[in-house]
Each structure stands twice: as structure tokens, then as C-alpha cells.
């Protein structure tokens, strides 16, 4: 079976299939988080004045700031790993990708620390609407990280084979997961202030 | 990005990526710092959202190459963000509208 | 058209705002009818005229005129008129002109619950006592009325029995204890969802008493059956039987009824009946 | 492509079950969805017994519902909620988008397959899992969801059976998202050379807009489903305000949520969803009408732009389902206005189709009969949407049988007829054989009659103010006494409608083996799918991928000896 434009770009649209596909997927993700942000606004308006801010005081801002940095770093290493492939430097790719994965692991570990700290203080999603939306948003974001990691890992370890058989397609794949990864980072950039700071 | 880029192009890109990384780090520190300012709720929200939007645009524009992306993608995203704001705004307005009922 | 819709189900209207609502329903149905008859005729003519056995060669170009654009513009204009001339003002009247207690109106509260309507009367002082969820007791205090404040002392409530006087403005503050219900008085063209956590005011004025209505209904399938509160929103397995009884009284009947209720209150009779056909 | 021809034989399993060929997946979607339609209809035929003869023993199947064979109110509510869910999410959407979209879009644009064949398969399997999860809820102790297909909390938060419904929905939403991204990418990327945007068959446009609606409107419902699941499973209160007292007990939740949040998120999907139900059917009907009127569609451009506009507007009308939730003047004015605006493109589309018939040479075969019947039936459904869209009239009509009548006219004799037209029309492409015309007409006429028999009296009941979702069909209420007797008439019509489907089911299976054998282009059509063999070649569709030189509907082009000119026929002098 031979489907056109899986690797090369279609001349009139300037895109290869997966690129359009992933952007459509990201569009749907925007709407998914849109629904949750909308819920956040609704609940915030519904809570007594200032309550959301107050409830949020339990959260650990320094830790979350550090985590934000980690995620931003992983985004840079992600785009660097793609650039390395573009420069035909597979070794560097392996390195950057490895760092990206490592960052993701650290991020999840810190998330785990935060969650357990909350549970130790008997704070659960059912405690109040702030924690309901906090756990939902960060939990769903965490799931996105885990999903992304699975794909990254799949491209990282067996990557050699794919690179050797079809470097161009492999580079495209890295670009595609890269787009997804940056999007997850982007979501966090908004989650961080609305949950921790406001 | 298309395969038409030669390696010097990419090397330029890498420089940009590093700048963006720096900018993101600084902005992150800025948002946290801003949260310690004595601002009213509205101002704080506005400031935080502005900073977040700048950061978001940097990520989308440079890491995700949106700045030089094909028109088709840009159109789809504009449509999406339009509906995204509808989804934010209308429930919010309707909440405010119904607040008169107590 | 009104007669036509009446013939096909639409009940007579017993409220002041009813005719307005009927009017907009009537006008929209005229628009619908015009479009349907217009296109329907065109449709049937084309089907007959251009069947292949009659017209074996199709015309590549087809219709060249722009009549359909004018038609679409006409539909748009009619819709604008309906909106601005009727729909907006009626709605504005409904949500903006809510009378307040000191306008000499009857002010009641209705608290819906799974499968009953609790009607809360403020008593002679015209002031409502507080309702507290934690005080709710299904048998002795279904709406959670806090009797400890003076406002509440003369308050009383009924289950499923709504009495109102004719030709007086009524305001009802609608809320619910559990799930969403919808308060509907078909003959008064009143409808409003009851949403937990919200208290939504509605207002209307009846123009006919229940007795007169029953006289009107003689000889129809409705004969002998009075007015009722329907629940229009799925609220659980008893949704179909969630019905209250509405009595539109003359001023005298209403006052008598109030007096009887006040006596009950003195008797300290906390048990309430859930209403039945007798209450019409 | 040549190496595909001498592809080694695939195993039966790879070829027919675990296939990634869009045609096989389309057929899988089609049969599964038809099966679910039948299930959804069967539930309703049972419910209609209770509505016609409340609290009497249901014949034949009564024993399923307990010893006395009476449908209990809680079971009635379950069947109602599941009827709505199954019809919409397991029946029409998979049939219209999953089956028709999958099978026809690549063929009509001259592509060898969908852009992402594996995702395509994943989409089908996710749909099947979602469907099975939904169905499994009937066999659990708690039973199936019983809070309506709208699942309004707090009721849905506290009623039994809802958890499985939510999990099922998450699978179904995932399936639709995967499928629709695939369709968009396919249309954008895989159009044959020369097939420019304004040369696309209208059906492809309809699928494109539909897919955009799915991609952008479904995720908020997925979010809402997750939130409701959290409410039910981990005890959050996204949709529960403080101070709820259920059956006399104060609910022990933190409170602070809002039931209206669900309604916003739900209708943000569910309004665009109704256009998801209608647009593919409009696409099919346009194809069938163009073909059987033997002339180009009138106003192709206005059809396309109206469809795009319709899709766009459908995102900003949703709160017309919420007029009675305490809306103020500004909000209601906004939504009434957008609702009126959105009716205009529908009028444009319908007008264009009507005018297309003028000057035609109409062939009344079975697909055409269904397509023609679609027009007035959708017309009735659409027109009765207008009073609902005016908030003042909706005060009276909201949640009455008038609403039920309105939307069944658009989805049942509307969409379902459109889909029937499509099945009769493209059956020869799929099997190489035509369906039997006599059986087809035996299917059409009674269906048309009984559809109206069921749904027309609903307007009468609605005008009388009878609420929907009543277990006893309104017996309890005095205001229903004048119209209650219609229930029996409607129910009998529904059962006869059921009987009228027997010729169809027979026809589908009989014609696979015994139908009249036909060549690749039995309807003498112009669009690309008819230039492929019947059935199209596995995985590649066309012997050589076509190139397009013409507009989609070049019928009765003057100066030719044939009355149709395929899109792939080169123009002579140019
Ligand atoms: C395919 C599905 C579909 C379609 C296309 C529509 C189309 C429309 N719908 Fe409907 N609607 C539903 C499915 C659909 N709806 C469902 C499922 C519900 C109920 C959900 C629930 O509560 O469970 C609902 C409920 C619903 C409501 C809420 C009612 C209530 O709960 O109180 C409203 C209110 O505005 C509404 C309005 C409209 C309007 C204005 C249109 C317009 O788009 C219609 C425009 C069309 C026309 C104006 C017709 C044009 C006709 C002609 C040009 C002439 C015809 C002439 C001949 C045929 C001879 N609909
Ligand atoms: C797409 C949506 C859709 C469709 C097509 C239908 C079709 C039908 N619906 Fe329904 N309905 C809903 C969506 C739909 N419905 C929704 C959303 C509700 C609201 C639920 C709620 O309250 O929450 C509802 C509610 C509803 C009610 C109101 C219940 C109540 O309020 O208490 C009634 C009552 O009569 C009804 C009846 C029917 C009937 C008789 C049909 C008939 O037209 C059915 C016709 C079906 C067919 C003709 C099947 C054809 C299939 C085959 C023949 C299979 C062939 C198989 C093979 C070849 C393998 N429906
Ligand atoms: Cu209360 Cu239905
Ligand atoms: Cu709608």
C-alpha cells in the first residue's frame, strides 16, 4: 500500500499528512483543555470571594516553579534533538532525547511528591472545588506526559533502526512528537499560574 | 519544517531556541515574582495571563515553528482558538448573567 | 391559526402573558406554513412536470432567476421582525419586570423535590423565614424552614397545593432541594427550570378562576379535571407522577383558604398530605 | 503502486477483521451501526407499548422485564436514555461518518486509502469497545444509565448506571476524534490531481465540515465526561452545589459546583452534533439528487458556503437548549439571534436542492425516492425548530413532545432516509450488484407513511403541553387528557415501521448473492468512485489513480451523446 505524502510534502498544501494530522489532534486537545479551563472559571466564580486563592495556598510554589523550569528545559532539548537529526547528528539526537526523557521523569517524580504531600494533609479532590479542578487538570496533564514519554521512549531506544531505514520519515516522526511535547509544555505554562499563583 | 533547510539555517535556529529558552526562564521567574506583588485580584490575573500568553506564544511560535507554518495550519488554529474563546467566554458571561438570581 | 393550533392541542390561556406567547407561536407557524406550502407546491409541480417519462432531456443550466435569494432575504426579514417585535420584548418582560413584595403582589416560594412541589407561603407578615438544608426532615419539615426567627412563625407550606387569587400579580421564587425540575403551568404559559443552588423568580397573573375554567372545559375530554403543576424535566423515576394542584381562587376563596391554613398552623399539625384529586 | 498488485494474499483475518483498508473498515462500521440502529429502535418499540397501554404486560418480551411483564419507570428511563445515546452516538454518527465517510471519501477524491489507515482501524475498534461497554450496562446489577441522553447532573451524579455510560462515552468520543482527524487529513492531502476545492463533490464538503465539528466540539464533552466521572467516583462536586438534600438526607459533598456547567459543556458538543447528524445526510441526498435529476446541482457554490457557514455558526447557538435555566435578556437575545441566523443556511441548502429539480429529468428509483422524501421531512423538522428557537415560544414548548417531534423529523425521516438513500445508491459499488427495486419500494412507501404516523401527532401532544420522558405518556396529567389517545396510534405506527424494515433487511442480505449484476457505473454517474471497479480493489481502489478535469456534476452537458460526463474525462481542446 502506498499512500501519497506520508514523507514528502504535498506541493499545494506544503504539508505531509502526519503534520496536518497532529495539528488537528492538538486543536482537539486545545478544546479538551478549553472545556476544563471553562470549568475552572465557572468554579472560581462560584466559590466565595478569594476562596480559590486561599485554598491554593497549600500548594508548593517553589517546587512547581522548579518543575516549570524542568518542563521548559525538556522542550528545548526536544527541539534540539530534532535539529540534531536535521544536521544528521544521530548521536546528539540520542543525547538530547535522553535528557528530554529524564526531564519528564523528574517532572513526574516531583508531581508525585506534591500529590503525596497533599494526601498526607488529607487534601483530596473531594476537599473543595479548587482541589477538584487542581487534581483533574494536573492529573490529566500528567497523563499526557506519561503518554508522551511512552512514544518518546519508543523513538529513542529502537530509533537506530528507523533512522537507518528511512531517516527522513524518522525526522518527521520526531517533529510530530515534538509538536505534541511542546503542546504539553504549553498547557503547563498556563496551568502553573492559574493553579499555583492566582 | 521542510527539508529545504540547509544546515546553516538549522544552526541559526538552534541559536534562536536557546534565546527562547532564556526568555522562558526569565518570564517564569517574573510570574512568580509578580505573584508576590500587592496587586488586586483582577490585576494579578491579567498580569499572570499576559505573561503566560507571551510564554505560550514563544513556545508555539519558535519551538513549534508556527511563525513560519503553512497557512492551512494557521487557519485551523485560528478557528480553534476562536472557538476556544467562545467556550471560555460564553459560559462565563452566562454565569455573570445568572448571578443576578443569587 | 390560533383556532387551528387550539384544535390541535394548544389549551386556552388563563394568564395575562399567555396571549403574547400564543401570538408568537401563531406567527411562527404562519411563517412555517407559508414556507412549507410554497416549497411544497413547487416540489410537487417539479416532480410531476420533470419526471423522466415526461421530460427525457434535462436542462444543463436550470433555473437562472434569483427568486430564491429574495425568498431567503424575506425569511431573514420575517425572522428579524419576530425577534425584535415579539421574542425580545416578551422575554424582557419576563426577566426584567419581576415585581417585588411591596408592590402589593402575592409572593410565594416553591421548593421542588423528588416528586413533589413544596409551596411556601410567607403568612400575614409577608416575610419568609429562612430555609436551611440541614433542618430538612422529610416528614416534619420538608423545606427546612427555620422556625426560630419571627419572620418564620406565621409561615406555612403545602405540598403540591398551589392556591392563588385571580387577577393578582403572583411572584414565585423557584428553587429545588435535589435535582433539576421544571415548573410548568401549561394553561398559564408558565415554564421555568428549577435549578439547585439558584432561586429563580417567575411572575404571572391569572385571568380566570379554576371554577370558571372547569365550566369552560365541560364537554371536552378535560371535563372535571382542574389545573395542575407539571414537571417538565426528567428528575428520576417518579418524574411522570410529579404533579401539583393549582387552584385559582376568587379573592374571597383565597382568603378563606389562607385562614384555614393559619388554623392548621395553630393546631401544630405538622403532618401534611401529598394532595390528591380532591384538592381541585 | 505496481508492487501492491502482486501483493501476497492476506490471511482472512488480516483481510476482513483486522483490516486497515478503508473499505473494509467502512463496511464494519456500517454493519455495526445498522445493528445498533436496530437495537435502539427495538428499545423504543418496547417503550412505545408502555406509552400506548400503560402498566399492561408487554407482549412477547414482557418476561425480560419481570414476572408481571410491566415496564417499570426506572427501566423506562433507562431505555429512553439508551435509545437516545444509541441512536445518536452508536447509530447515526458511525453510520454517517464512520461508514459513509470512510467508504466514500477516499473513493470520491481519488485516493488509494485514508491518510492514516491504522488510526482508522483504531477508530473502529474504539467505537466497538465503546458500544460494547454501553450495551454491557444493561446486564449489570444497577442497569443502564437512566438520566436521559443529556445526563443532566445532579440527577446523573446520583442515579445508578451512569458510570458505565460515561466510560462508554469516552471510548466513543475518542473514536470519533480519530476518525474525523483522519477524514480531514485525507480530504486536504489526498485529493487526486486536478481535484480542486470547488470541484469536490458536495458529499465530501459535507464530510469535511462534519469532521471539523467533531474535532472541535467533542473534546469539551470528553472533558465534561471526565468531570462527571470524578464526581461519581472520587466524590468531587463539579456539578453539585452546596446544600443538596436528596431523599431527605443532606448530601455529604463539599459542594460549590454548578449543574449549569455540565449543560454548557454538553450542549457545546450536542448542538454541533445535530449538524453532524444532518450534514452527511444532506451530502448523500445531494449526490443522489444530482445523479437522478440528470443535471448539475443548482447553486453548488452557495451550497458549499452555506454548509461552511452552518458549521461555523453551530458553535455559537448551543444555549438555545438552555433558555429556561434563568437566562437574562442579553444572553437570550444573543442566542435567539444566532439561532435564527443559523436557520438561513439550512433554508439556502434546501432551496438549492429544490431548485435543482427544476428542468430535470427525474428518475424515480429507490435511492431517489428516499432522497426526495428527505426534503419535505427535513423541512418539517427544521421549520418546527423555529418556534423552539424563539425563547418566548420555548417557554411553553420546552421539553414537551413538540421538541421530540421537531428533532425526530430531522433525524428519522430526515437523516435515516438520507442514509437509506445512500445505502441503495452505493450498494452496487460495494457489492457489484444492485438492490432489488421492488423490495426497495416496499420499504420506502410504508416507511414514509409510518414515520409520519409516529411523529406528526407528537406536535399535537406537544402543543397540549405534554412533557417528554413520561413513563405513562401523560396519563397522570389532566392537560394530556385530550391528546393521550394519540399514543396508541403512534405506537402502532412505530411497530408497523418496524415491520416495514423487514424488506430492507432481506434486501440487504439477499442482494449480496442474488442481486442483479451491474457494471462499474450502473447509475451513469460522474463522480470518481464510479470510475473504480465494483467493488474497488483492495487497498488501492483504482487500477490507476485518476486525474480530474471537470466539475463534479456534469450531467446533460449540451452537445454530447451521453447525458453524463465523468470528472476524470479529459477536456478535448485545452
Ligand atoms: C439533525 C438534527 C437537528 C437539526 C438539523 C436541528 C435543527 C434546528 N434545531 Fe433542533 N434539536 C435537535 C436536533 C436537530 N435540530 C435535537 C436532537 C434536539 C433536542 C435535544 C434534547 O433536548 O434531547 C433539538 C432541540 C432544539 C431546540 C431546543 C428545544 C428545547 O429543548 O426547548 C431548539 C431551540 O432553539 C432547536 C432549534 C433548531 C433550529 C432553529 C434548527 C435549524 O437549523 C433548522 C433550520 C431548517 C429550516 C428552517 C428548514 C428550511 C425549510 C424550508 C426551506 C422549506 C421546507 C419546505 C418543504 C419541505 C416543502 N432544536
Ligand atoms: C439519531 C437519533 C434518533 C433516531 C434516529 C430516533 C428514532 C426514533 N425514535 Fe427517538 N430519540 C432520540 C434520538 C433518535 N430517535 C433522542 C436523542 C431521544 C431523547 C432521549 C431522552 O429523552 O434522553 C429520543 C426519544 C424518543 C422518544 C421519546 C421518549 C420519551 O421522551 O419518553 C420517542 C417516543 O416515541 C422516540 C421514538 C423514536 C422512533 C419511533 C424512532 C424511529 O424513527 C426509529 C426508526 C429506526 C429505524 C427505521 C431503524 C432502521 C434500521 C434497520 C432497519 C436496521 C437494519 C439492519 C441491518 C441491515 C443489519 N424517541
Ligand atoms: Cu420533577 Cu420531573
Ligand atoms: Cu440545538
Alpha carbon of B98: minimum distance to chain D alpha carbons (Å): 6
User: pLDDT band for position C248 (50/70/90)?
Assistant: very high
Q: What atom in ligand 2 is closest to the CA of residue D413?
A: 43
Domain range for residue B82? 69-102
Look over chain A and give the mean of its residue pLDDT values, rounded to a whole number.
Answer: 92
- pLDDT for the residue D574: 47
Any ligand 1 atom below 6 A from CB of D343: yes
Listed range (B78-82, C25-29, D17-21, D212-216) with the worst mean pLDDT:
D17-21
Nearest ligand atom owner, CA of D272: 4
**In this complex, do D155 and C235 lie within 8 Å of one another by their Cβ atoms?**
yes
Nearest to A83 among B10, B56, B73 (CB): B10
Which residues keep their CB under 5 angstroms from ion ligand 4? D 271
Query: Which of A197, D481, D250 has its CA nearest to residue B49?
Result: A197
C41 and C157 belong to one structural domain: no
Regarding whether C111 and C30 lie in a shared domain, the answer is no
Q: Is residue D14 scored above 80 in pLDDT?
A: no
Same domain (yes/no): C82, C221: no
pLDDT of residue C274 exceeding 90: no
CATH superfamily of this structure's domain A17-197: Cytochrome c oxidase, subunit III, four-helix bundle (1.20.120.80)
D472: left (phi over 0), alpha (psi -120 to 50) or beta: alpha
Phi, psi of D567 (to 5 degrees): -60, -30
Q: How far apart, in whole angstroms, are the C-alpha atoms of residue D75 and residue D79?
A: 6
Domain chopping of chain D, boundaries: 22-241+255-531
Q: Which atom of ligand 3 is nearest to the CA of C239?
A: 2
What average pLDDT does range B64-92 have in this prediction?
92
**Count of structural domains within chain B:** 2
Task: Identify all chain D residues contacting C25, using CB atoms and an 8 Å cutoff.
Answer: 387, 393, 396-397
The single-letter DSSP state of residue D89 is I
Instruction: Give the pLDDT of residue B102.
Output: 59
- CATH 3.30.2010.20 for domain D22-241+255-531, yes or no, is no
Q: Are residues C267 and C253 in the same domain?
A: yes
At A22, the pLDDT band (50, 70, 90 cuts) reads very high
Q: Which chains touch D (3 or more CB pairs under 8 A)?
A: A, B, C
Mutate to test the interface with C, among D356, D393, D410 (most CBs of C within 10 A): D393
Q: How far is residue D147's CA from residue C125's CA, in Å, rounded to a whole number?
A: 41
Residue C9, domain member (yes or no): yes
pLDDT tens by residue, D523-557: 999 999 999 998 899 888 998 889 999 999 999 88
**CA separation for the pair D117, D338 (Å, rounded):** 38
Contact D471 C239 (CB under 8 A): yes
User: D231, D479, D486: best mutation site toward chain C, by most C Cβ within 10 Å?
Assistant: D479
Q: What is the pLDDT of residue D92?
A: 96
Domain total of chain C: 2
Residues B49 and B32 in one domain: yes
pLDDT of residue A106: 96
B44 & B80 share domain = no
The parent domain of residue C26 ranges over 2-54+64-96
| Cell numbers 407561536: residue | C25
Mutate to test the pocket of ligand 1, among D266, D356, D403, D404 (most ligand atoms within 8 A of CB): D403
pLDDT value of residue D189: 94
Clarify whether residues C183 and C163 are in a common domain: yes
Residue A93 has a pLDDT of 92
Atom of ligand 2 at shortest distance to CA of D501?
53
Q: Is the CB of D467 under 6 A from ligand 1?
A: no
Ligand with an atom nearest the CA of residue D80: 2
Of the candidates B83, B93, B94, which has its C-beta nearest D216's C-beta?
B83
Residue C30 near chain D (CB below 8 Å)? no
Distance CA D96, CA D486 (A): 32
Closest ligand (CA of D316): 4
The reply to whether residue A31 touches residue D540, judged by beta carbons under 8 angstroms, is no
Does C278 have pLDDT greater than 80?
no
The chains found to touch A (3+ Cβ pairs under 8 angstroms) are: B, D
Instruction: Based on the fold, state whether residues B60 and B91 are members of the same structural domain.
Output: no
The residue among C232, C235, C236 whose CA lies nearest residue D399 is: C232
Residue A1 is nearest to which of D4, D181, D190, comparing CB atoms?
D4
Alpha helix (H) ranges present in chain C?
Answer: 2-7, 18-49, 67-81, 88-96, 150-153, 210-216, 251-266
Higher-confidence residue of D6 and C92: namely: C92
Q: Per DSSP, which regions of D135-279 are E strands?
A: 245-246, 249-250
**Residue B87 sits in the same domain as residue B55:** no
Do C147 and C183 sit in the same domain of this protein? yes
Shared domain for B75 and B35, answered yes or no, is no
Same domain for B81 and B60: no
Residues D347, D535: Cα–Cα separation, whole Å: 36
Residues C21, C155 within the same domain: no
Whether C118 and C252 share a structural domain = yes
Q: At residue D500, does pLDDT exceed 90?
A: yes
DSSP string for D223-236:
HHHHHHHHHHHT--
With beta carbons under 8 A apart, name residues in chain B contacting C201: 101
Ligand 3 pocket, C235 CB below 6 A? yes
Point out the residue among B86, B98, B101 whose CB comes nearest to the CB of D316. Answer: B86
Residues whose CB is less than 8 angstroms from the CB of residue D400 and which lie 6 or more positions away in sequence, other chains included: C232, D461, D462, D463, D465, D466, D467, D468
D462 exposure class (CB count in 10 Å sphere: 0-12, 13-18, 19+): buried
Q: Is D306 in the pocket of ligand 1 (CB under 6 A)?
A: no
* Cross-chain residue pair A41–B92, CB shorter than 8 Å: yes
- Are residue B51 and residue B88 in the same domain, yes or no? no
**Residue D459 three-state SS:** helix
pTM, to two decimals: 0.95
Same domain, B58 and B73: no
Q: Do B5 and A86 touch (CB under 8 A)?
A: yes
Q: Is residue C49 part of a domain?
A: yes
Mean pLDDT of D232-248: 90
Percentage of the residues of chain C whose pLDDT score is greater than 70: 95
What pLDDT shows up at residue D521?
A: 92
HSE at residue B1, side-chain half, CA atoms within 13 A, is 21
Q: With an 8 Å Cβ cutoff, are C83 and D336 in contact?
A: yes
Using a CB-CB cut-off of 8 Å, the residues of chain B touching A15 are: 70, 72-73
Least confident of B48-52, C52-56, C174-178, D83-87: C52-56
Helix and strand numbers, DSSP H then E, in chain B: 3, 0
> Domains of chain A: which residue ranges?
17-197
The pLDDT-based confidence of D321 (bands split at 50, 70, 90) is very high
Nearest residue (CA) to ligand 1, atom 3:
D274
pLDDT tens digits, residue range D77-126? 999 999 999 999 999 999 999 999 999 999 999 999 999 999 999 999 99
Question: Are residues B14 and B60 both part of a single domain?
Answer: yes
Residue C242 CB less than 6 A away from ligand 3:
yes
pLDDT band at B3 (very low <50, low <70, confident <90, very high): very low
Q: Inspect the interface and report whether the beta carbons of C80 and D340 lie closer than 8 Å.
A: yes
Mean pLDDT, to the nearest integer, of D464-469? 94
Amino acid at each position: 500500500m502506498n499512500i501519497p505524502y506520508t514523507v514528502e510534502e504535498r506541493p499545494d498544501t506544503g504539508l505531509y499528512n502526519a503534520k496536518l494530522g497532529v495539528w488537528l489532534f492538538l486543536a482537539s486537545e486545545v478544546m479538551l483543555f478549553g472545556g476544563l479551563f471553562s470549568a475552572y472559571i465557572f468554579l472560581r466564580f462560584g466559590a466565595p470571594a478569594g476562596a480559590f486563592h486561599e485554598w491554593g495556598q497549600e500548594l508548593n510554589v517553589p517546587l512547581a516553579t522548579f518543575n516549570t523550569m524542568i518542563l521548559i528545559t525538556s522542550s528545548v532539548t526536544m527541539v534540539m534533538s530534532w535539529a540534531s537529526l536535521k544536521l544528521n547528528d544521530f548521536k546528539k539526537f540520542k543525547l538530547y532525547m535522553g535528557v528530554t526523557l529524564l526531564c519528564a521523569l523528574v517532572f513526574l517524580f516531583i508531581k508525585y511528591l506534591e500529590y503525596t504531600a497533599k494526601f498526607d494533609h488529607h487534601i483530596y479532590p473531594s476537599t473543595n472545588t479548587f482541589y477538584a479542578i487542581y487534581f483533574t487538570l494536573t492529573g490529566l496533564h500528567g497523563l499526557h506526559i506519561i503518554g508522551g514519554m511512552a512514544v518518546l521512549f519508543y523513538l529513542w531506544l529502537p530509533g537506530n533502526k528507523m533512522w537507518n531505514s528511512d531517516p527522513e520519515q524518522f525526522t518527521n516522526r520526531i517533529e510530530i512528537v515534538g509538536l505534541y511535547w511542546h503542546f504539553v509544555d504549553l498547557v503547563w505554562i498556563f496551568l502553573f499560574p492559574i493553579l499555583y499563583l492566582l | 519544517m521542510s527539508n529545504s533547510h540547509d544546515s546553516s539555517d538549522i544552526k541559526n535556529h538552534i541559536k534562536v531556541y536557546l534565546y527562547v529558552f532564556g526568555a522562558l526562564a526569565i518570564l517564569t521567574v517574573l510570574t512568580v515574582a509578580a505573584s508576590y506583588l500587592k496587586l488586586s485580584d483582577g490585576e494579578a490575573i491579567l498580569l499572570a495571563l499576559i505573561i503566560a500568553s507571551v510564554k505560550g506564544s514563544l513556545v508555539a511560535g519558535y519551538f513549534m515553528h508556527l511563525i513560519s507554518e503553512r497557512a492551512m495550519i494557521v487557519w485551523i488554529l485560528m478557528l480553534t482558538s476562536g472557538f476556544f474563546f467562545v467556550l471560555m467566554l460564553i459560559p462565563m458571561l452566562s454565569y455573570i448573567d445568572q448571578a443576578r438570581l443569587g | 391559526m390560533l383556532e387551528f393550533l387550539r384544535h390541535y392541542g394548544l389549551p386556552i390561556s388563563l394568564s395575562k402573558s399567555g396571549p403574547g406567547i400564543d401570538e408568537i407561536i401563531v406567527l411562527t407557524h404562519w411563517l412555517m406554513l407559508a414556507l412549507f406550502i410554497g416549497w411544497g407546491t413547487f416540489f410537487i409541480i417539479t416532480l410531476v412536470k420533470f419526471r423522466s417519462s415526461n421530460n427525457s432531456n434535462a436542462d444543463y443550466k436550470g433555473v437562472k432567476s434569483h427568486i430564491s435569494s429574495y425568498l431567503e432575504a424575506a425569511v431573514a426579514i420575517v425572522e428579524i421582525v419576530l425577534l425584535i417585535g415579539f421574542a425580545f420584548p416578551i422575554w424582557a418582560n419576563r426577566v426584567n419586570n419581576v415585581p417585588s413584595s411591596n408592590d402589593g403582589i402575592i409572593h410565594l416560594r416553591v421548593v421542588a423535590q423528588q416528586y413533589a412541589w413544596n409551596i411556601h407561603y410567607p403568612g400575614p407578615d409577608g416575610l419568609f423565614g429562612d430555609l436551611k438544608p440541614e433542618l430538612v426532615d422529610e416528614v416534619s419539615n420538608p423545606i427546612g424552614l427555620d422556625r426560630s426567627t419571627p419572620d418564620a412563625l406565621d409561615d406555612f407550606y403545602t405540598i403540591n397545593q398551589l392556591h392563588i387569587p385571580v387577577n393578582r400579580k403572583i411572584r414565585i421564587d423557584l428553587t429545588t432541594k435535589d435535582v433539576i425540575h421544571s415548573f410548568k403551568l401549561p394553561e398559564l404559559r408558565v415554564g421555568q427550570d428549577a435549578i439547585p443552588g439558584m432561586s429563580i423568580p417567575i411572575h404571572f397573573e391569572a385571568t380566570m378562576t379554576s371554577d370558571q375554567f372547569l365550566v369552560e372545559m365541560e364537554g371536552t375530554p378535560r371535563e372535571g379535571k382542574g389545573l395542575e403543576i407539571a414537571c417538565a424535566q426528567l428528575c428520576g423515576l417518579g418524574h411522570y407522577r410529579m404533579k401539583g394542584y393549582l387552584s385559582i381562587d376568587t379573592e374571597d376563596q383565597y382568603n378563606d383558604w389562607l385562614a384555614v391554613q393559619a388554623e392548621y398552623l395553630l393546631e401544630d399539625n405538622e403532618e401534611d398530605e401529598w394532595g390528591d384529586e380532591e384538592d381541585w | 503502486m505496481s508492487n501492491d498488485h502482486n501483493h501476497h494474499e492476506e490471511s482472512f483475518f488480516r483481510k476482513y477483521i483486522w483490516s486497515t483498508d478503508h473499505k473494509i473498515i467502512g463496511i464494519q462500521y456500517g454493519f455495526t451501526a445498522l445493528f445498533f440502529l436496530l437495537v435502539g429502535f427495538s428499545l423504543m418499540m418496547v417503550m412505545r407499548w408502555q406509552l400506548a397501554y400503560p402498566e399492561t404486560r408487554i407482549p412477547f418480551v414482557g418476561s425480560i422485564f419481570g414476572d408481571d411483564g410491566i415496564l417499570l419507570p426506572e427501566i423506562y428511563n433507562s431505555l429512553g436514555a439508551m435509545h437516545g445515546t444509541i441512536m445518536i452516538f452508536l447509530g447515526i454518527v458511525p453510520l454517517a461518518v464512520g461508514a459513509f465517510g470512510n467508504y466514500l471519501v477516499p473513493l470520491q477524491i481519488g485516493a488509494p486509502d485514508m491518510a492514516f489507515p491504522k488510526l482508522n482501524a483504531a477508530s473502529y475498534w474504539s467505537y466497538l469497545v465503546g458500544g460494547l461497554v454501553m450495551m454491557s450496562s444493561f446486564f449489570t446489577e444497577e442497569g443502564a444509565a437512566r438520566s436521559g441522553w443529556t445526563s443532566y447532573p445532579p440527577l446523573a451524579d446520583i442515579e445508578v448506571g451512569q458510570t458505565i455510560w460515561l466510560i462508554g462515552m469516552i471510548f466513543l468520543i475518542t473514536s470519533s476524534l480519530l476518525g474525523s482527524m483522519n477524514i480531514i487529513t485525507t480530504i486536504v492531502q489526498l485529493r487526486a490531481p486536478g481535484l480542486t476545492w470547488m470541484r469536490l463533490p458536495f458529499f465530501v464538503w459535507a464530510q469535511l465540515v462534519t469532521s471539523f465539528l467533531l474535532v472541535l466540539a467533542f473534546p469539551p464533552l470528553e472533558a465534561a465526561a471526565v468531570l462527571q466521572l470524578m464526581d461519581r467516583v472520587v466524590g468531587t462536586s463539579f456539578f453539585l452545589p452546596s446544600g443538596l438534600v436528596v431523599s431527605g438526607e443532606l448530601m455529604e459533598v463539599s459542594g460549590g459546583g454548578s449543574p449549569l456547567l455540565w449543560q454548557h459543556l454538553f450542549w457545546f458538543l450536542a448542538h454541533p452534533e445535530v449538524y453532524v447528524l444532518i450534514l452527511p445526510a444532506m451530502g448523500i441526498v445531494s449526490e443522489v439528487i444530482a445523479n437522478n435529476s440528470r443535471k448539475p446541482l443548482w447553486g453548488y457554490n452557495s451550497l458549499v458556503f452555506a454548509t461552511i457557514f452552518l458549521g461555523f455558526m453551530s458553535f455559537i447557538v448551543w444555549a438555545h437548549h438552555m433558555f429556561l435555566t434563568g437566562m437574562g435578556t442579553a444572553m437570550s437575545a444573543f442566542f435567539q439571534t444566532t439561532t435564527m441566523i443559523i436557520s438561513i443556511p439550512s433554508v439556502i441548502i434546501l432551496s438549492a436542492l429544490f431548485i435543482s429539480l427544476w428542468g430535470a429529468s427525474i428518475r424515480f428509483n429507490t435511492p431517489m425516492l428516499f432522497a426526495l422524501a428527505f426534503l419535505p421531512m427535513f423541512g418539517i423538522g427544521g421549520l418546527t425548530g423555529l418556534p423552539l428557537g424563539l425563547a418566548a415560544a420555548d417557554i411553553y414548548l420546552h421539553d414537551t413532545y413538540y421538541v421530540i417531534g421537531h428533532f425526530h423529523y430531522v433525524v428519522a425521516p430526515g437523516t435515516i432516509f438520507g442514509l437509506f438513500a445512500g445505502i441503495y445508491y452505493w450498494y452496487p459499488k460495494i457489492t457489484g450488484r444492485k438492490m432489488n427495486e421492488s423490495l426497495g419500494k416496499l420499504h420506502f412507501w410504508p416507511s414514509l407513511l409510518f414515520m409520519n404516523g409516529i411523529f406528526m401527532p407528537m406536535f399535537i401532544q406537544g402543543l397540549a403541553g405534554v412533557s417528554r420522558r413520561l413513563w405513562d405518556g401523560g396519563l397522570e396529567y389532566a392537560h394530556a387528557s385530550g391528546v393521550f389517545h394519540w399514543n396508541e396510534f403512534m405506537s402502532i405506527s412505530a411497530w408497523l415501521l418496524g415491520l416495514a424494515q423487514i424488506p430492507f433487511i432481506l434486501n440487504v442480505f439477499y442482494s449480496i448473492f442474488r442481486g442483479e449484476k451491474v457494471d462499474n457505473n450502473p447509475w451513469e454517474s460522474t463522480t470518481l468512485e464510479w470510475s473504480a471497479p465494483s467493488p474497488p480493489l483492495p487497498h488501492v481502489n483504482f487500477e490507476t489513480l485518476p486525474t480530474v478535469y471537470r466539475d463534479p456534476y456534469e450531467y446533460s452537458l449540451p452537445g454530447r451523446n451521453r447525458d453524463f460526463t465523468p470528472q476524470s474525462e479529459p477536456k478535448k481542446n485545452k
